[in-house]
Amino acid sequence: MFFASDNQSCASQPVMNAIVAANQGFTHGYGDDPFTQEAIASLKDVFECDLEVLFVPTGTAANCLALASLVQPWQTVLCHSSSHILMDESTAPEFFTGGARMQGFAEHAGKMSAEHLQSYLADAGDDIPHNPQVAALSIAQTNELGLVYSPSEIKAISAVCKQHNLKLHMDGARFANALAHLNCSPAELTWKAGVDALSLGATKCGALCAEAVIFFNKEDAKASMHLRKRAGHLISKGRLFGAQFRAWFENNHWLELARHANHQAQGLAQALALIDDVKIPWPVNANELFIILPKALGDHLNAQGAEFYDWYPSTLPEGMSLSPDKRYVRLVTSFLTTERHCHEFIQCIHDYQKASLR
Amino acid sequence: MFFASDNQSCASQPVMNAIVAANQGFTHGYGDDPFTQEAIASLKDVFECDLEVLFVPTGTAANCLALASLVQPWQTVLCHSSSHILMDESTAPEFFTGGARMQGFAEHAGKMSAEHLQSYLADAGDDIPHNPQVAALSIAQTNELGLVYSPSEIKAISAVCKQHNLKLHMDGARFANALAHLNCSPAELTWKAGVDALSLGATKCGALCAEAVIFFNKEDAKASMHLRKRAGHLISKGRLFGAQFRAWFENNHWLELARHANHQAQGLAQALALIDDVKIPWPVNANELFIILPKALGDHLNAQGAEFYDWYPSTLPEGMSLSPDKRYVRLVTSFLTTERHCHEFIQCIHDYQKASLR
Amino acid sequence: MFFASDNQSCASQPVMNAIVAANQGFTHGYGDDPFTQEAIASLKDVFECDLEVLFVPTGTAANCLALASLVQPWQTVLCHSSSHILMDESTAPEFFTGGARMQGFAEHAGKMSAEHLQSYLADAGDDIPHNPQVAALSIAQTNELGLVYSPSEIKAISAVCKQHNLKLHMDGARFANALAHLNCSPAELTWKAGVDALSLGATKCGALCAEAVIFFNKEDAKASMHLRKRAGHLISKGRLFGAQFRAWFENNHWLELARHANHQAQGLAQALALIDDVKIPWPVNANELFIILPKALGDHLNAQGAEFYDWYPSTLPEGMSLSPDKRYVRLVTSFLTTERHCHEFIQCIHDYQKASLR
Amino acid sequence: MFFASDNQSCASQPVMNAIVAANQGFTHGYGDDPFTQEAIASLKDVFECDLEVLFVPTGTAANCLALASLVQPWQTVLCHSSSHILMDESTAPEFFTGGARMQGFAEHAGKMSAEHLQSYLADAGDDIPHNPQVAALSIAQTNELGLVYSPSEIKAISAVCKQHNLKLHMDGARFANALAHLNCSPAELTWKAGVDALSLGATKCGALCAEAVIFFNKEDAKASMHLRKRAGHLISKGRLFGAQFRAWFENNHWLELARHANHQAQGLAQALALIDDVKIPWPVNANELFIILPKALGDHLNAQGAEFYDWYPSTLPEGMSLSPDKRYVRLVTSFLTTERHCHEFIQCIHDYQKASLR
């Protein structure tokens, strides 16, 4: 019962097959190979635009190379106070940007609003060297609580960004899951809504190791090939990334994988909603669900082999707090999650509750 | 009517005299001169302990060299959300520390409490490479709202720090003013209360250009001489700093200067308290006072030559907000401020109010 | 005819099979998986010692994480003036180390000697903050000219290092090729000869994407897991690296691959030695050979599809220079190179020479 | 007998008087004061052009802020292998530039030539992310051996720079001494000869603490005010620097101070030239002279209170080496050096030689 993260899964069969197929004979190194070129072509098709892209091995590298391309070392990157880029990537953003400020801000846990961003920026320092001026905003899609921003929410946020001359970065480690939830086009969810740069993660959704930094404005990408090389993220056998991305996009494989993962999360949520003593504090949009459960039950589940992380109490909905006899945990489903896995989890709970009644 | 900052003042006469006196003939360079050595001896006397000290030209350099000595690039420095080090020193802390995280936190504007620090740290990430672990706390004395922490408040904070293995840094750009307010010893306010490193500023209180980083644990200072050199802060004619600090401490000159500045702030506050339409939202501890006044009155004062800065509305006391017809401004007095300057300021207000009545 | 680099090859079949086999079901993320654990165990077996290891995707990351663990930002890393780490990794070493100095030095092209290192260090600056003190030496094995250091040469170099308190790093992007040439044990070539940290590259010798930083002193590795995370080099599906390394070591697969590559280089060198107009300025130890050939012949070979890089004329043997009608190029063989490829290359030269005679 | 460095001197009387005069009452902070504004106006007069300038406390800060404004972190700064910026400023250049490469190069000790620069650049790497492309050259005037580049030598060097798209920085810690030697205009020695940015040092030539970074192309200065602030080099009481620079330029005071220092060096050199056993390996252009003397004599001079530094043997003229019974030392004169000081030094040698004969 692996619900700790979608990166506990292997690669999907079609993605793996593509790696195997690409592993034949000689090619040029460093991305000058047909697999990489075809993956880039696929990306342009999928996003319906010209773009610059760098393939890299991790989401942290993708996020931070994007930010390092968008801001100067004396500027500030805004993000939600509980965002992954702030909480879970060490000080990688500071490292890659040469020491720019990372500034979390939040009205409350959950999605940020254009209104709150507007009011925050009204008090954010003048254009003097003393103040580290805000130069970019980073939002996650899906976000750190599994919530999905609609194209119109993103448009509203990007309008505030443009007004204050901020670049808009999207951390799309689970972009496919957001897309599968929304049923809109990748273009509508990114550049058409005002996103300047996207970190597109395939690893959590069926790839083995494949992330991309996508710049919708080529000007923003000027320094990026140097930044990637000096960060050690230019791999020599580029076909590894090229093959994965090409296969991921082929026949909408990525969206099928994401839809499956989301569907499992929905199923799990529905089953959990029927259980006394388990609360689901956030809506389940994509493939993450957060639950509050009795500590003893949580410990029992762990003992039975269920894997999941306790989550930051600061990310509970406003006004909600965690009593000491409860746990607040995150469950993540993936393309590899089956109904059997979910059923087993639910069954474990039922067994525990039954035993407790005795 | 210069109330914008205490750094608008010149150096005091005794400090200036000391610079002139030191400016004779040859000495060794880079701090190996009698003036510097005597200043270091004075510091040890004043703080009643052995210590390591680096003299540097600015408060930003002092704060950031201290922090760079206390934390690693993958760690986090906590400070109040409205602290000077976060708001007014560009991204210098990130630069000097090699990209450590600066994390503002606050229950509300004003002083931070040991209780809030404790509850913040309870939710601050685990000891895994993903989380940028908190390794130091920086507090300002006097703080960014002119408030002074008592030795017991500092002790309570440092106890939490020790419990969580954090180093405690004090930004003492206005340390003399705090000391003058408290009537305790420098030792009681620093190492005896658990402070590990102090940035001691003389510039705002009668020096021309003289700041010090003081390490109460020599082990913490190991890298600091290298950090200072590579930041370009090792001046060749070290007697400039040595002479100033020696004179500053001589005959308690520093405390006299600070007492005078504080006294002027008290006088100004008392006069302002009698004026309708002017509110003083924060207690006046040292040499800074914050007032809320009608916008038209503030503009009139500026037009009459009064200098002061509008302050961040986010630093108003909890629950208080700023209506559009008001201004929230900071007034700072210095050793050079006289009763005449304060009287002139008050008179300006009276004149305006009289004229408005007509 | 792909002789530009050994990274133009795919992964070997056993390595690829291992990736496929590891790609089953769920595992823990971030290296806490059986494949990674077994790869670490293999490494300890192969090197006959306890050690700390980080798996990363590129040689640049491996080299720079090693150096960042060994030196402070105010120190200097010495290396040969024509080393890969200096010429071909952008400013990655400066980036990862937080701005340490990279200092190339050389008596002449080729291998560095303990004697020259000794004499260089005699004049390398005092222990004062003004001088960026040398704290580490990095040598490449095989080196940038395909030459291999013997264990006794390394011992002599490490003795000078120890005398001057320098850490010794080995860039082992082609370590397997050196080992295959020398017929000694991995331990004899590293920690037994005084090497502190090794970047061990599998990618150029049969892996798809798998590099390791190995610390023979655990103390040196203390910060490395943080450095890796904040550089974005901690991949989530660690089994990718674990599976490759395990398979690479199994049944001495790595050495077979390296022996094959070396053998092809020897064969090619012998055939080229018989050709008028082609000079081989450096002995062929491992899988790289450098030749000087008429420009027209080189251009003809390129036109026929032969791939290779022109090399830095500064790396010619002392006293040798390049006339404008010549090219100085590098040829690299790999496990995938066959006698047919080499024959085709030689045949191309014969055809050209025959045609020229007419 | 203080010949260790010209920074062992105090400030000149006119410069000190100016500091005292500026130390009256209130001014705006951070350089928005009349003294700073007048100093900037003086600079424009002196250099006969519009320019951007930052005043900073040290030469290291001036050099490194200039370089950080001219190159990107993935680029390379070239300089002479024995330049001050490479040997004596720790890793400050790497720190300020965010990790750019510092690359020393030299045909031999002494001045660099346009021809050697040209040949060096011919082999310096391609425009690919692997190679850290050279983007700037830094030369010192006077240089690290007290030698002065003529305007035509600088023009020849800057022509090569322009051809390869390099920015040209001049480290002018002893610029006044070079100017005094050459009898040309400041403009002829800088922007008219192709210099893009100049670090102009006053400290070594009569100021107490006053250095300037001058950008002759305003475009190059765009980021510099942010770089200065985040490096902690924006002092609050800017009048300190303003007053010094204004007084330094007034009535050609700077050139008089420099001429005096140079004159003393010439006198000392002439007297030393007459002494057996003392060699002067480099021409004496400005205020530094280098001598080779018997070790016993050097030790005697030190014992008698003469101060000077032993210099790097690698900076001896080509083909010259240092026998173990000799010392190679640097003597520096300043505006404060008198004929009496020089005479005392010579007398000391005579006394020693006389005593040795007995």
Give the gap in angstroms from C-alpha C9 to the nearest C-alpha of chain A.
5
Q: Which two tokens stand for residue D107?
A: 């045909």
Mean pLDDT, rounded, for B155-175: 98
* Contact between chains at C131 and D87 (C-beta distance less than 8 A): yes
Residues of B with CB under 8 A from a CB of A: 73-76, 87-91, 94-95, 98-104, 123, 125, 129-132, 312-314
In a domain, A4, yes or no: no
Interchain CB contacts (distance < 8 Å): A and C: 159
Same domain assignment for residues B111 and B232: yes
Subunits adjacent to chain D (3 or more Cβ pairs under 8 Å)? A, B, C
* Contact between chains at D236 and B58 (C-beta distance less than 8 A): yes
* Contact between chains at C23 and A7 (C-beta distance less than 8 A): no
Listed range (A274-288, B127-141, D43-57, D166-180) with the worst mean pLDDT: B127-141
What are the chain C neighbours of A92 within 8 Å (beta carbons)? 229-232
Give the gap in angstroms from C-alpha A26 to the nearest C-alpha of chain B.
37
What are the chain D neighbours of C102 within 8 Å (beta carbons)? 101-102
In a domain, A306, yes or no: yes
Q: How far apart are CA D347 and CA A14, in angstroms?
A: 90
Tell whether the torsion through CA atoms of A220, A222, A228 and A230 is positive or negative.
negative
Where among B186, B219, B251 does a domain terminate?
B251
* Contact between chains at C226 and B72 (C-beta distance less than 8 A): yes
In a domain, A1, yes or no: no
Q: Which of C71, C229, C235, C236 to mutate to test the interface with B (most CBs of B within 10 A)?
A: C229
For B259-303, what is each residue's pLDDT tens digit? Answer: 999 999 999 999 999 999 999 999 999 999 999 999 999 999 999
pLDDT score of D125: 66
Judged against a pLDDT cut of 90, whether residue D251 lies above it is answered with yes
Q: Which of A90, A97, A103 to mutate to test the interface with B (most CBs of B within 10 A)?
A: A90
What are the chain D neighbours of A228 within 8 Å (beta carbons)? 129
For D57-98, what is each residue's pLDDT tens digit? Answer: 999 999 999 999 999 999 999 999 999 999 999 999 999 999
In a domain, C127, yes or no: yes
Cβ-based neighbour number of residue C85 at 10 Å:
27
Same domain assignment for residues A261 and A228: no
Q: Which of D28, D54, D74, D134 to mutate to test the interface with A (most CBs of A within 10 A)?
A: D74
DSSP assignment of D95-137: HHTTSPEEEEE-SSSS---HHHHHHHHTTS--SSTTS--EEEE
Each as own residue / partner, the long-range contacts of residues B321-327 (CB below 8 Å, 24 or more positions apart, any chain) are: B322/B292, B324/B295, B325/B294, B325/B295, B325/B296, B326/B292, B326/B293, B326/B294, B326/B295, B327/B292, B327/B293, B327/B294, B327/B295, B327/B298
Question: What is the chain C residue with the closest CA to D60?
Answer: C130
Question: What is the chain B residue with the closest CA to D236?
Answer: B7
Give the gap in angstroms from C-alpha B98 to the nearest C-alpha of chain C.
6
Same domain assignment for residues C206 and C243: yes
pLDDT score of A142: 96
Q: What contacts A76, CB < 8 A, 6 or more positions away?
A: A100, A101, A102, A103, A124, A132, A133, A134, A135, A136, B91
pLDDT score of A128: 84
Q: CATH number of the domain that A105 lies in?
A: 3.40.640.10
A27: preceding bond cis by omega (within 30 degrees): no
In a domain, D282, yes or no: yes
Where among A251, A280, A313 does a domain terminate?
A251
Same domain assignment for residues A199 and A111: yes
As to burial, measured by CB atoms within 10 angstroms (0-12 exposed, 13-18 middle, 19+ buried), residue B256 is: middle
* Contact between chains at A8 and C22 (C-beta distance less than 8 A): no
Give the gap in angstroms from C-alpha D70 to the nearest C-alpha of chain A.
15
For B60-84, what is each residue's pLDDT tens digit? Answer: 999 999 999 999 999 999 999 999 9
Nearest neighbour of A234 by CB, restricted to D129, D223, D230:
D129
* Contact between chains at C72 and B99 (C-beta distance less than 8 A): no
In a domain, D204, yes or no: yes
Nearest neighbour of D92 by CB, restricted to B5, B64, B232:
B232
* Contact between chains at B226 and C74 (C-beta distance less than 8 A): yes
Nearest neighbour of C99 by CB, restricted to D89, D99, D129:
D99
Same domain assignment for residues D153 and D264: no
Give the gap in angstroms from C-alpha A192 to the nearest C-alpha of chain B.
33
Q: What contacts B317, CB < 8 A, 6 or more positions away?
A: B108, B109, B110, B281, B282
Mean pLDDT, rounded, for C125-144: 90
Q: Which two tokens stand for residue D288?
A: 């530094």
Nearest neighbour of B73 by CB, restricted to C74, C98, C225:
C98
pTM comes to 0.97
Nearest neighbour of D94 by CB, restricted to C88, C99, C123:
C99
For B8-37, what is each residue's pLDDT tens digit? Answer: 999 999 999 999 999 999 999 999 999 999
In a domain, B240, yes or no: yes
Same domain assignment for residues D89 and D223: yes
Judged against a pLDDT cut of 70, whether residue B54 lies above it is answered with yes
For B146-159, what is each residue's pLDDT tens digit? Answer: 999 999 999 999 99
What are the chain C neighbours of B130 within 8 Å (beta carbons)? 229
pLDDT bucket at B125, cuts 50 / 70 / 90: low
What are the chain D neighbours of B12 within 8 Å (beta carbons)? none
Where among B227, B251, B275 does a domain terminate?
B251
Percent of chain D exceeding pLDDT 90 equals 94
H or E segment at C309?
Answer: strand C309-310
* Contact between chains at B99 and C129 (C-beta distance less than 8 A): no
Question: What is the chain A residue with the closest CA to D68?
Answer: A73
pLDDT bucket at C122, cuts 50 / 70 / 90: confident
pLDDT bucket at B128, cuts 50 / 70 / 90: confident
pLDDT score of D123: 77
Q: How far apart are CA B54 and CA B215, in angstroms?
A: 9
Q: What contacts A61, CB < 8 A, 6 or more positions away?
A: A211, A231, A233, C231, C232, C233
Judged against a pLDDT cut of 90, whether residue C48 lies above it is answered with yes
Total of domains in chain D: 2
Question: What is the chain A residue with the closest CA to D100?
Answer: A230
Please provide the average confidence, as pLDDT, over all residues in chain B: 96
pLDDT score of A125: 65
pLDDT score of B265: 98
Question: What is the chain A residue with the closest CA to C22?
Answer: A10
For D304-323, what is each residue's pLDDT tens digit? Answer: 999 999 999 989 999 999 99
Nearest neighbour of D91 by CB, restricted to C123, C132, C313:
C132
Same domain assignment for residues A141 and A278: no
For C231-276, what is each residue's pLDDT tens digit? Answer: 999 999 999 999 999 999 999 999 999 999 999 999 999 999 999 9
What are the chain B neighbours of D58 within 8 Å (beta carbons)? 232-236
Same domain assignment for residues D339 and D247: no
Judged against a pLDDT cut of 90, whether residue B55 lies above it is answered with yes
What are the chain D neighbours of C76 within 8 Å (beta carbons)? 91
Interchain CB contacts (distance < 8 Å): B and C: 37
In a domain, A166, yes or no: yes
Question: What is the chain A residue with the closest CA to D127?
Answer: A226
Same domain assignment for residues B179 and B308: no
What are the chain B neighbours of C230 within 8 Å (beta carbons)? 73-74, 99, 129
* Contact between chains at D91 and C74 (C-beta distance less than 8 A): yes
pLDDT score of D239: 98
Average pLDDT of each block of 10 consecutive residues along chain A (358 residues)? 96 98 97 98 98 98 98 98 95 98 93 95 80 96 97 98 97 98 97 98 98 98 97 98 98 98 98 96 98 97 97 92 96 98 97 88
Q: Which of A28, A54, A74, A76 to mutate to test the interface with D (most CBs of D within 10 A)?
A: A74
| b/e per residue A19-53 (b: at least 16 CB within 10 A) | bbebbeebbbbbbebebbebbbebbeebbeeebbb
Domain that holds residue A140: 12-251
pLDDT score of A5: 96
Nearest neighbour of C229 by CB, restricted to B98, B130, B226:
B130
Same domain assignment for residues D243 and D262: no
Subunits adjacent to chain B (3 or more Cβ pairs under 8 Å)? A, C, D
Q: Which residues pair with D330 in a beta bridge?
A: D290, D309
Cβ-based neighbour number of residue A187 at 10 Å:
16
- The one-letter amino acid code at D120 reads Y
What are the chain B neighbours of D4 within 8 Å (beta carbons)? 28-29
Same domain assignment for residues D260 and D331: yes
pLDDT score of D33: 98
* Contact between chains at D125 and C99 (C-beta distance less than 8 A): no
pLDDT bucket at C107, cuts 50 / 70 / 90: confident
Q: Is C198 helix (H, G, I), strand (E, B) or coil?
A: strand
Same domain assignment for residues B184 and B294: no
Subunits adjacent to chain C (3 or more Cβ pairs under 8 Å)? A, B, D
